[in-house]
Amino acid sequence: MKNLKLSSLIILLTLFTYGVKAQGLKDSYEGIFDIGAAIDQRQVNGFGKDQIAHSILAKHFNSVTPENLMKWGSIHPSPNTYNFEPMDKLVDLAESMGARVVGHTLVWHNQTPNWVYENEQGERLDGLALIKRMEDHITAIMSRYKGRVFAYDVVNEAIFDNGEYRTSKWYEATGTEFIKRAFAKAEEIDPDAELYYNDYNMWKPAKRETAIALAKEIREAGIRIDGIGLQGHYGLESPSLEEIEASILRIAEEGFKVMFTEVDIDVLPNPVNRHGADIDATFEFEEQYNLYTDGLPAEIQEKLVKRYAELFELFKKHEDKITRITFWGIHDGGSWLNNWPMRGRTAYPLIFDRNYQEKQDIIQVLHEIAAK
């Protein structure tokens, strides 16, 4: 009996010293940058196993991004219908745990219903009419969450990887005008909210330079833009730390805040060695790209720990420029990478495993980096 007590004491002490820290990541990174997570309907509802999401959020995160709930198709599915309830619940939840909400996203070419671009006859709207529709959408959302949503990804992914503007329906109808007008409207409706441009593959110089030129144009027109979000959907090897660092430096040098808004690290191979996060670039499922269905081999886990460590060392080095690091999901089981760029895979990109348990090796290292 005595031995049993002693051994449980030792286990507890070991856990306390090396294992699950009582302190959350947000506490370790207090004053450095915000630590965020994207959450979806399931985590907001918190039924069954997803209840654990609430305690993880409360412990580790002081920033929350809706993974899908504020996208046009979700919050404004048809011309006269706003589906605010799920987003209201997310905001309530975030507030109950003292986390700030980042609104993602007001204007995007994806997850935006076709009716947005069309009149009642199904013909494409002209630029003016489309901008009016966009402004009404921004007004409805930002008025509702004024003072409660701290910042917005006003425009998402308007630039191709080669630095040219994406030929989206927004661009076809208005050129780059929709971007400026979106920021102007956002500033008008909630002058206290921070406003960002957000995109993937921002380590590619051509793309990043167009984003910077765009942000400067907006600012020179007297319109607010506070920062540029780098999504951060990365692989184990690519992009290099140098490439990422160059973007941090360039964006900060031009006077914009930098944030990593959708961080995850894909350990799985894919057919074309893809980069980034073009959600339309998908492939048929093939078993050869789904290597780790029974768990991640130790050597790959080590690579993942190392990659997270190097990234966070870089982020910490530039803490004066970076305001937030957001993970795109909480746990591996909920990650979009299980279904993109291929459906039905077993992905390991995040810092909590499929059972919502802390990946202690990663989290420990992240705590240590914060303390350096």
Catalytic residues: 157, 262
The least CB distance from residue 259 to ligand XIL, in Å, is 13
Q: Which of residues 267-326 bind ligand XIL (CB under 6 A)?
A: 277, 279
Tell how far CA 86 is from the center of its chain: 18
Task: Give the Cα separation of 46 and 53 in Å (integer).
Answer: 7
The least CB distance from residue 238 to ligand XIL, in Å, is 17
Select 24 or 341, whichever has its Cβ closest to ligand XIL.
341
Could you list the beta-strand ranges (E) of the chain: 34-39, 63-66, 100-107, 149-156, 194-199, 227-230, 233-235, 257-266, 322-327
**Residue 170 and residue 158 in contact, taking contact as beta carbons nearer than 8 Å:** yes
Binding ligand XIL (rule: CB under 6 A), the pick from 62, 74, 231, 338 is 231
Cα–Cα nearest to 202, from 253, 152, 260, 281: 260
Binding ligand XIL (rule: CB under 6 A), the pick from 61, 171, 336, 352 is 336
Rounding to the nearest 10 degrees, give the CA dihedral for residues 341, 343, 345, 349. 40
67 binds ligand XIL (CB under 6 A): yes
Select 1 or 272, whichever has its Cβ closest to ligand XIL.
272
Select 32 or 337, whichever has its Cβ closest to ligand XIL.
337
Cα separations (Å) of 143 from 80, 146, 209, 364?
16, 5, 32, 40
Nearest residue to the partner ligand XIL, using Cβ: 336
The least CB distance from residue 104 to ligand XIL, in Å, is 6
Q: Which of residues 22-51 bind ligand XIL (CB under 6 A)?
A: none
Q: Which of residues 163-222 bind ligand XIL (CB under 6 A)?
A: none
Task: Give the Cα separation of 103 and 151 in Å (integer).
Answer: 6
Q: How many residues bind ligand XIL (CB under 6 A)?
A: 8
Binding ligand XIL (rule: CB under 6 A), the pick from 45, 68, 270, 364 is 68
Give, for 142, the enclosing helix (H) or strand (E): helix 127-144
Tell how far CA 254 is from the center of its chain: 23
The least CB distance from residue 295 to ligand XIL, in Å, is 23
Give, for 63, the enclosing helix (H) or strand (E): strand 63-66
The least CB distance from residue 231 to ligand XIL, in Å, is 6
Binding residues for ligand XIL, per CB under 6 A? 67-68, 156, 231, 262, 277, 279, 336
